[in-house]
Structure 1
Amino acid sequence: MEYVKVLLPSLVVGLLFWYVLRAILRADSTERREMDRYYAQLDEREPHARAGDAAPPAAVEQASTETPGGTHGTRDEGRPD
């Protein structure tokens, strides 16, 4: 009976640690699975939205228009002279 009294706290803490770690790992794997499913649905709806692809057509069209004054725009176009 003495051994049970000595080992019981360590066993309880060990089981608690195992349970918490298991919950964290399961939550992570579930999140990864859901994110993969979300990105797959996003690719089905908008194939151009994948990472590494060209910008969406609206953004390309907007970027190709000239700014007033005949320049193609700079980083400082909004700053006062």
Structure 2
Amino acid sequence: MDLSSTSTNDLRKKQRQYKGALIGALILMILVVVLGMTIKEKKATYFMPLVGMPAAFIPIIQRFQKINAELKSRAEAANN
């Protein structure tokens, strides 16, 4: 998807959505760690999802960074 053809309002909306998804994922990972620490039987298999979860969010992080860069370039173009 070409970000230059997307309206600024749509980019801001997508930025908020991606930011919410990333915050939600972080909260979920923290909860998994806390719950894992409270389990009496500490097995490595309980923590295996934590290894793959950050990798699953790499595309979201990259997309979020591209949207931020596009919004920044539009703001700089508007100021010049």
TM-score normalised by the chain length of structure 1? 0.44
- Looking at secondary structure, tell me which structure has more helix per residue: 2
**Which structure has more RCO (C-alpha within 8 Å, separation ≥ 6)?**
2
